[in-house]
Amino acid sequence: MKARIAVAIAALLFIAYGAISGDIDDTWRKASQICLECIGIGR
């Protein structure tokens, strides 16, 4: 049980770090581009 809590805390820290450093914008842009390509209206 302690290992799961530690992994959850580590995951939240990495997510927070990515959001603070601006990586979330890049990830969102790439994900939306892949989605648009998948349905056939992307580049």
**According to the model, what pLDDT value does residue 43 have?**
61
The rounded distance, in Å, linking the Cα atoms of 25 and 31 is 10
Cβ neighbours for 18, distance < 8 A, ≥ 6 positions apart:
24, 27
| Pairwise CA distance, residues 24 & 20, whole Å | 8
pLDDT tens digits, one per residue of 1-43: 899 999 999 999 998 998 888 888 888 888 888 888 888 776 6
Q: How many CA atoms lie within 13 A of 26 on its CB side?
A: 6
Q: Where are the domains of the chain?
A: 2-39
Task: Give the model's pLDDT for residue 34.
Answer: 84
| CA distance linking residue 18 with residue 34, whole number of Å | 20
